[in-house]
Amino acid sequence: MNVLYNKKSTIEPRIAVNWKLNSTSSFHAGYGLHSTMESVHNYFAKVENADGIIIEPNKDLGLLKAHHFVLGYEKRFSKNLMAKVELYYQGLYDLPVENLDTSYYATINEGVEFRYVDLVNKGTGKNYGVEFTLERFLHNNFYFMLNGSLFSSTYKALDGIERNTAFNGEYLINFLTGKEFVKLGKNKNKSLSLNLKVFYGGGRKYIPLLRDADGNVAVEPEQGRFWDYSNAYKNKLEDMMQVAFLVSYKINKPKVTHEFNLNIDNLTNSQSKLTEFYDAREPGSVGYVKQFGAFPNLIYRIYF
């Protein structure tokens, strides 16, 4: 991998083996060295230095790298039904973190927050867990997949403290299923597809507001002091749940196909709390960022 912009490059060896025990079961293992660029805005971040001069300190930022290891077992119960369990470990290094020995900040948490700061490739992290999958492949116009995972995701910035990443939900469950009804209508040229997806998982870790010994909000808006960075990503507010439903109706003709899709995200209108913020108008002066509510999306496509 070669980043032409700042001439940062890496070689990424990969190796994988599969040991077939018999016609229905096998073990597999693999290793890979993986790397990734940062989001573009980090390279061009403008930062004010101690002399009050605006600089761009991140143009020479290196790649985030990680050693990936995986060990798994797969069992096929029939042509269309399979189960798999995998153990994995990812050792992250050269993680971009703020160039300050009292800072918690690392770019690995981007997506929850981002900052324009001086970054250096001196952070570390690790992700590990176990994942189980039971899958029925599409057969007789029906499929399903059940997937569950127990995992941990942590990192260290220059302050040397091991913290959860913002995305360390610790557990999750996904369930997908669908059924297609074909050859409908007088001319047998219509089809109806029903699909359901259910997600349940641990909530995101967050940075809490400053509080006193009694647990009351103790922010100082005039000084711009709101957040308790010493407890960054230590806890979560609530678990998350989402149900998505998709119905698709197709009309097939010799020269054209019409498709109507209705996709409803968060069908149950679950609005779990993701993080908190200071709001003097709310009880206790605490407001919450929540999941998006139910969101219907109607789509028409034409194929010709």
Residues contacting residue 4 through CB under 8 Å, at least 6 positions apart: none
State the Cα–Cα distance between residues 172 and 202, nearest whole angstrom.
6
pLDDT higher than threshold 90 for residue 237: yes
Neighbours of 39 (CB within 10 A): 10
Asked if 263 and 174 sit in the same domain, the reply is yes
Do 117 and 193 fall within a single domain? Answer: no
Would the pLDDT of 112 be above 80? Answer: no
Q: Which of 4-8, 93-97, 162-166 has the lowest mean pLDDT?
A: 4-8
Kindly indicate the confidence band of residue 1, based on its pLDDT and cuts at 50, 70 and 90: confident
pTM of this structure = 0.87
Dihedral angle at the C-alpha atoms of 84, 146, 199, 110, nearest 10 degrees? 20
90 and 19 both lie in a single domain: yes
pLDDT digits (tens, 9 = 90+) for 22-80: 999 999 999 999 999 999 999 999 999 888 899 999 999 999 999 999 999 999 999 99
Domain count, the chain: 2
Give me the domain span that covers residue 234.
170-304
The answer on 39 and 1 residing in a single domain is: yes
Same domain, 197 and 291: yes
Residues 113 and 22 in one domain: yes
Average pLDDT over residues 111-125: 90
CA–CA gap between residue 96 and residue 79 (Å, rounded)? 46
Task: Quickly state the pLDDT bin for 295 (edges 50, 70, 90).
Answer: very high
Q: Do 119 and 262 fall within a single domain?
A: no
Cα–Cα distance for residue pair 209/272, rounded to 1 Å: 18
97 and 221 assigned to the same domain:
no
